[in-house]
Amino acid sequence: MQSGYYSSAAGMVTQFNRLDTIANNLANVNTVGFKEDNLVVGDFMRLYKEARDELPNANQTKEAAQFLNRAMNKAPQVVDSYTDHSLGDMQKSDNPLDMALSREGLFFLVKTPEGVRFTRDGTFMRDDQGRLITKSGYEVLPSDYFETKQPITLNQEDSIIEIDKNGQIYTNIPNSANFAPNSKLFVAQPDNIAFLKKEGSNLYRYDGEQEFESMEESGAVMQGFVEKSNVNAVKMMTQMIETNRLVGMYQKAMDTQMNDMNRDAIEKIARKS
């Protein structure tokens, strides 16, 4: 068995996965509230050391030696993935319904056909019925949603809308300079951010067991701002160049294994015969 060929093939597959992740990050460099994804690359030996106590064969035995293919123990492979939830830059906008969260780990709650989801994308708008919705048409939830099951509704007469740092919405009283409190935005903080899974449309699904509670005083809502993507385009381009070079190196190694070494072996056999 040409172990070098299989190790090179495993390395190339790993780099292809890295390219997919980098390309997705670059495609969302201008997506509001997008968070950068990353992969953790390890090798078989690392996985073996972490799990060998759970294997059916005892260590340092003939059976265990047969189970562990040491020719493959350094083949790189994707062992984990994670999302960088650090803050992106805050950009001022002219839309009073644009909102950003100035603290890491906080999210707005929205209602989708698949259930309640988290989002950092605060580019909201008002639909024909006056409901506060996302760009994708999902209802933005108020802090008392799980008690009332009602959306945030803004009347067409509400020409002036003010939102404080805790997400409390105030609308102007017609023919008056006074404001009246409306709904309050549902600002949530997951118990464990690692349980968040991306679903597309800038939404996250929470897979942990948690009863969602709205933060009374988050102090993080910024009206008239949007949070830009935290993807560093220069870093991503550098990683893409590096990954493409590694793909070329693995391809050359595979070609050497299958062509040059086989040809050399055939020539030696021919000379001896």
Q: Are 93 and 124 in contact (CB under 8 A)?
A: no
Residues 77 and 137 in one domain: no
Q: How many structural domains compose the chain? A: 2
pLDDT at site 71: 45
Q: What is the pLDDT of residues 39-92, one digit of tens each?
A: 887 766 655 566 555 655 555 555 555 555 544 456 677 777 889 999 999 999
Residues 94 and 223 in one domain: yes
Of the candidates 191, 206, 227, which is a domain's last residue?
Answer: 227
Share of the chain residues as helix, strand and coil, in percent rounded to the nearest 5: 35, 25, 40
pLDDT at site 49: 61
Residues 206 and 102 in one domain: yes
Residues 258 and 176 in one domain: no
Q: What is the pLDDT of residues 142-152, one digit of tens each?
A: 999 999 999 99
Instruction: Kindly state the tokens that stand for 247.
Output: 């793909």
Query: 25: closest CA among 235, 206, 193, 196?
Result: 235
Query: 71: closest CA among 123, 14, 7?
Result: 7
pLDDT at site 84: 92
Residues 117 and 217 in one domain: yes
- Cα 196 → chain centroid: 8
Residues 138 and 219 in one domain: yes
Q: Are 232 and 26 in contact (CB under 8 A)?
A: no
What string of pLDDT tens digits covers the 273 residues of the chain?
466 677 777 788 888 999 999 999 999 999 999 999 998 877 666 555 665 556 555 555 555 555 555 444 566 777 778 899 999 999 999 889 999 999 999 999 999 999 999 999 999 999 989 899 999 999 999 999 999 999 999 887 777 889 999 999 998 877 677 788 889 999 999 988 888 999 888 999 988 766 788 899 999 999 999 999 999 999 999 999 999 998 888 888 777 777 766 666 666 665 655
What is the model's pTM? Answer: 0.77
CB atoms within 10 A of CB 156: 8
Beta bridge partners of 117: 110
CA dist 28 and 44 (Å) reads 32
Domain that holds residue 65: 3-85+232-272
Three-class secondary structure of residue 121 per DSSP? coil
Beta bridge partners of 76: 43
Residues 97 and 154 in one domain: yes
C-alpha separations of 1 from 7, 24, 72, 197, 269 in Å:
11, 36, 11, 40, 18
Pseudo-torsion of CA 241, 242, 244, 250, nearest 10°?
Answer: 160
Residues 101 and 209 in one domain: yes
Residues 109 and 188 in one domain: yes
Instruction: Kindly state the tokens that stand for 15.
Output: 């780099």
Residues 220 and 112 in one domain: yes
- Cα 260 → chain centroid: 42
Residues 171 and 142 in one domain: yes
CB atoms within 10 A of CB 187: 23
Residues 246 and 163 in one domain: no
Helix (H) or strand (E) holding 51: helix 44-51
